[in-house]
Amino acid sequence: YTLNDRRNDPRGGLGTAFMIPGFLLIIICMKNFHLLSYRNLHAAALAIVVLMSFLAAKVDVQLIRKKTIFILLPLLLPYAYSVLILANALPDSSQAKVYPTQVISKRYTSGRGSHSELTLAAWGPEKPGSVEVSGDIYKTVRPGDKVCAYLRDGALGVAWYRIDLCH
């Protein structure tokens, strides 16, 4: 097999199959785990990309010879950020700080991808702004209603939150 889908190569090309899951994973992560800042993740994401590129070059030496490794680098970023977001959120056992906030408006967009967004009043460290929410929350709330932001410290020390109905 090869990671670089080349014409007339008898080996099966895994390039596309290798890249698509990373993009799907980052979409899922960004929809479910909202970080207050990505700033602290950049260096770690770059290290993961370099490591994954090194491993990919070990599997397919043609990536170095044809210089297509440089195309691979940015395509690996979704994997790197997804790994960091999940490593930060999933094992996080910190106590959530609950911030009730008001729904100012809601907007649903469709097309290439559907997005259910709420515009929220300021809460905790966040200024007023839009945030993507699940379809269930979107259908349940109306402008003027209260929702809660559940803010956690993050297992890697990167604060993250989710928006949900107040309990």
**Token output for 27:** 């979409």
pLDDT at position 3: 60
pTM above 0.95, yes or no: no
Nearest C-alpha neighbor of 84 from the set 153, 161, 157: 157
pLDDT one digit per residue (tens) for the chain, 167 residues: 566 656 666 666 666 677 788 889 998 999 899 999 999 899 999 999 999 888 888 877 777 776 777 777 888 899 999 999 999 999 999 999 999 999 999 999 887 778 899 999 999 999 999 999 999 999 999 999 999 999 999 999 999 999 999 98
pLDDT at position 20: 83
